[in-house]
């Protein structure tokens, strides 16, 4: 079982819709969770971090964490074509472990 698992996609949503990106992790003791965005040909950049169960909102982005289900998600409201990128889920387990990323395509 992969330590951090994401569906590679691509996930295609129309402009203005909600994009839902999901991530599961294998180690129950993980405490810190991150979402990075990586545009094609660019380096990853941190967009959200979440440490406790529940929702954390930042503008159009909402991170959701459910430790009992070992599940973390990222919701992007009012998706824009500029949100088209690969979204990497990362979990701390002694060190930062990345998933392979989900490619999001927002179509005008």
Footprint of other proteins on this chain (CB under 8 A)? 2, 4, 8, 31-32, 34, 42-46, 49, 51, 88, 92, 95-101
Smallest separation (angstroms) from other proteins to the CB of 20: 20
Dist CA 28 CA 51 (whole Å)? 13
Q: 7 φ, ψ to 5°?
A: -75, 125
Smallest separation (angstroms) from other proteins to the CB of 14: 26
Per DSSP, 83 falls in state: G
Dist CA 96 CA 102 (whole Å)? 18
Smallest separation (angstroms) from other proteins to the CB of 17: 26
36 in Cβ contact with 47 (< 8 Å): yes
The residue among 13 and 97 lying less far from other proteins, judged by its C-beta, is 97
The residue among 51 and 71 lying less far from other proteins, judged by its C-beta, is 51
């Amino acid at each position: 079982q992969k330590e951090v698992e994401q569906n590679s996609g691509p996930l295609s949503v129309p402009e203005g819709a909600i994009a839902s990106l999901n991530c599961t992790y294998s180690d129950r003791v993980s405490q810190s969770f991150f979402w990075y965005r990586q545009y094609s040909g660019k380096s990853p950049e941190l967009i959200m971090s979440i440490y406790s169960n529940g929702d954390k909102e930042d503008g159009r982005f909402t991170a959701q964490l459910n430790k009992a289900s070992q599940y973390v998600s990222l919701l992007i409201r009012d998706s824009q074509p500029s949100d088209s990128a690969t979204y990497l889920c990362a979990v701390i387990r002694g060190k930062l472990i990345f998933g392979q990323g989900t490619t999001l395509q927002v179509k005008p």
